Amino acid sequence: MSLTHSPGPLAGSPPATVNYTIDGPKHRLLLHDFPRRVRAVFAGETVLDTERGALLHETALLPVLYVPMEDVRQDLLTPTDHSTHCPFKGDASYWSVRVGDRIAENAVWGYPEPLERAPWLAGRVAFYWDSMDAWYDEDEQVAGGLRNPYHRVDVRASSRKVRVLVDGTAIAETSRPLLLSETGLPNRFYVPREDVRHDVLRPSETRTVCPYKGTAAYWSVRVGDTDLADAAWSYPDAVDDAIRIKGYLSFDHDGLTVEVSPG
């Protein structure tokens, strides 16, 4: 269960099917320790190296890693005039990271004087993930973000019949899909490559990174005069709990229809 999205307990609108109430603000914060060493590298320098990181879970937002300022190379930080205000955490100060000629503007932020309901943020800072060149969870480089311990991916074989249609024309049809269930997201059926019409697929340059599944490659779908951009995707090198979908294709676009029937 995701903590910060419905039906999680830190969501703005928790479900009615519970036998408890939460006495507190509708917008909720939870900070808990991250169990492993984390490092961030920029321009060949290790800017952050910590075994004391903590994930902040916040209603309707993805978790963010906060680390003690002492675990950051402060000689590489330059304070900036940028500031933002959060009604739940306080006024944020920002720092840029400079290594030689490279600068990551306003890459780091923190709350020097957090609001009284979030005192544990004092002395901690966070980084914009994409501002750094590389991140390491222990000695493994990770992309897309650290893994939330409350997030999971399950892949199951299915005998349900799945058909993908564009303007009534089937472009994929299988009775051996894999069903991927992921916390906070709708179920997705993945179709074996052999059960997809490859003549309607055109490779796309689009790539996305998921910390739980890997790097996705995309295809556009063209049937007659209908051209659907990035309507199909696959994980050529799926990782960990998602490894079974490696090479399979999934589809989602307003211009196509996915039909599912019992096997």
The phi and psi torsions of 42 (rounded to 5 degrees) equal -140, 125
pLDDT(150) > 60? yes
**Mean pLDDT, the chain, integer:** 94
- Per-residue confidence (pLDDT) for residue 3, from 0 to 100: 78
Instruction: Name the token pair of 194.
Output: 């052999």
Protein fold of 29-142: 2.170.150
Please state the separation of Cα 151 from the chain's center in Å: 10
Residues β-bridged to residue 47: none
Strand partners, 165: 170, 257
If pLDDT is split at 50, 70 and 90, which confidence band does 7 have?
Answer: confident
CA distance 140 to 39: 10
How many residues does this entry show for the chain? 263
Structure confidence at residue 115 (pLDDT): 96
Are 260 and 162 contacting, i.e. CB atoms less than 8 angstroms apart?
Answer: yes
Fold of 153-261: 2.170.150
- For residue range 10-41, what is the model confidence (pLDDT) as tens digits? 777 777 788 877 777 888 999 999 999 999 99
Tell me the whole-structure pTM to 2 decimals. 0.84
pLDDT tens-digit series, residues 34-83: 999 999 999 999 999 999 999 999 988 889 999 999 999 999 999 999 99
Sequence-distant (≥ 6) Cβ neighbours of residue 44 within 8 angstroms: 99
Report the C-alpha gap between 261 and 163 in whole angstroms.
9
Greater pLDDT, 195 or 144: 195
Looking at the chain, the domain(s) classified CATH 2.170.150.40 span 29-142, 153-261
Residue (of 183, 159, 213, 212) closest to 11 by Cα position = 183
Q: Please, are residues 97 and 131 in contact by the beta-carbon 8 Å criterion?
A: yes
Give me the mean pLDDT over the 151-159 stretch: 96
Q: 228: Cβ–Cβ under 8 A, 6 or more apart, which residues?
A: 166, 220, 221, 222, 253, 255, 256
User: Which pairs from 184-190 meet CB under 8 Å and 24+ separation?
Assistant: 184/2, 184/5, 184/151, 188/250, 188/252, 189/158, 189/160, 189/162, 189/250, 189/258, 189/260, 190/155, 190/245, 190/248, 190/249, 190/250
What pLDDT, in 10s, does the model give residues 176-219? 999 999 988 899 999 999 999 999 999 999 999 999 999 999 99
Judge if the upstream peptide bond of residue 114 is cis by omega within 30 degrees of 0.
no
